[in-house]
Structure 1
Amino acid sequence: MFIMKDEEPFLLDDPARLRALAHPMRRLILRHLNVHGPATSTTIGELLDAKTGTTSYHLRQLEKYGFIEEIPERSGGRERWWRRAEVPRDMRLPTPDQVAPEDRAVLAEFHRIGMDEDRVLFDRFPEAYRRDPQWAKGSRGLGWLTQAEFDEFFEAYMALLKKYSHRPEDAPPGSRPMYLRFFALPADED
């Protein structure tokens, strides 16, 4: 389980939890549960074209590290229903120097898988914008910032996410699940 202090950033520096999230199928499972709500290993397996045993294993791994939980009132017999567990809204990754040298490969893999997912979203953006520009927005920019200003900018961005995004159970009518991404890197290292 996650120990959460309301609205404080949670540093995901546990190598076992990072490993649990650094698996493509587990990330697909989490994405499905986040966007579509509760599901069984059978329904997830059908969606991901995977065997039920495989999805059951990955669901148990996600449960073990507190990312999902069983819904006992919906489960019965061999059918188990799963939902996303309450996790911190502001979950941050450690920097490489904050993890042991032997765990840095897991952190790198986590970032690699995440960027692969983001590339797919970026490829989908032009069509999403063409279909419904009110729900697909993008921005690109270049700015000169000091380290302190960049840190302040990032914290302001995180505050905006907290202010305007809702958990599914608290979302007002008319809300839609939205992929929101932020990344920044120095432009003078090209």
Structure 2
Amino acid sequence: MADTPERPSPPAKPTRRLDARSLRGLAHPLRMSIFEMLSLDGPATATGLAGRLGENTGTVSWHLRHLAEHGFIEEETGRGTKRERWWKRTAVTNQLNTTDFRDDPDTRGALSVYLHELVQRYFNRVVRYLGEDWDERWHSAGTVSDWSDLRMTPEQLTALNAELAAVIARHTPAPDAEPAPDALPVVVQLQSFPRKERGSA
């Protein structure tokens, strides 16, 4: 039997590390909502986003331009009109290293807003999933789990996160792959962090 050719890995997206300016450009509740919608659901217009968000179209348009100025989104060329522009997320993976900003008093507020909104969005996704009506196959496939009996050094935790990311990468289809007929978008959320020990008084 001939060897099965190994499936090529999908090309890695360009990556940029967020600086103080780009962090301040994203760290706003409405801008983060807009960015999340474009990331999860694809291109949209200001009018469409405003309807889903319950906001004024002019306000959404202003925040869209702000996101574009900071490189998070871009106009989808060849679609729409001068009066109705379509926007999409740029094909870039954004990385945030919180240690870059913790000692910067001018950015600490933006970092706090960003992290609070991000964690709230992760929580809301889980609550929404649990409250929705799914058939038994999808309920059995999903999971909300935690493991709290680990003890690790920072290096071990870093290695664990790298291994988990590699697993997700192996299951990420190539951009041109045709999804199965019964496939749905899937969100994978991983939260791994140290815990302060509470000693007895």
State the TM bucket, normalised to the shorter chain: 0.7 to 0.9
Offset from partner CA, 1:60-109 (integer Å, 9 cap, x none): 01111111111120121311111111112xx332233x223321221121
1:16 & 1:136 partners in 2: Cα distance? 37
- Report how many residues are paired: 181
Q: TM-score w.r.t. structure 2 length? A: 0.78
In structure 2, the partner of 1:84 is 89
Distance 2:119 2:133 in 1: 21
Q: Which has the larger radius of gyration?
A: 2
Question: Which sections of structure 2, spanning at least 5 residues, go unmatched?
Answer: 1-10
Mean CA deviation greater in 42-51 or 119-128: 119-128
Letter in 1 for 2:145: S
Q: Deviations over 1:124-176 (max 9, x none)?
A: 34335964224422221021112211110111122223332357x54531343
Q: Relative to total residues, which structure has the larger helix share, 1 or 2?
A: 1
Q: Distance in 1 between matches of 2:156 and 2:107?
A: 30
Q: Partner of 2:74: helix, strand, or coil?
A: strand
1:139 to 145, 156, 163: 145
Change (3 A) 1:36 1:122: closer
Report percent identity of matched pairs.
29
Deviating 4+ runs (over 4 angstroms): 5-9, 128-131
Partner of 2:7: none
Matched, 1:69 2:77: no
Tell me how far apart the structure 2 counterparts of residues 57 and 7 of structure 1 sit (CA, whole Å): 27
Residue 5 (structure 2) aligns with: none
Q: Are 1:39 and 2:47 matched, yes or no?
A: no
In the alignment, which residue of structure 2 is the partner of 1:182?
190
Give the letter for the 2:127 counterpart: D
Q: Is 2:114 the counterpart of 1:110?
A: yes
Residue type of the alignment partner of 2:31: R
Q: Taking structure 1 as the reference length, what is the TM-score of the superposition?
A: 0.82
Structure 1 residues 171 and 45, CA gap change in structure 2 (3 angstroms): farther
Q: Distance in 2 between matches of 1:47 and 1:125?
A: 18
Contact 1:129-1:137 at 8 Å conserved across structures? no
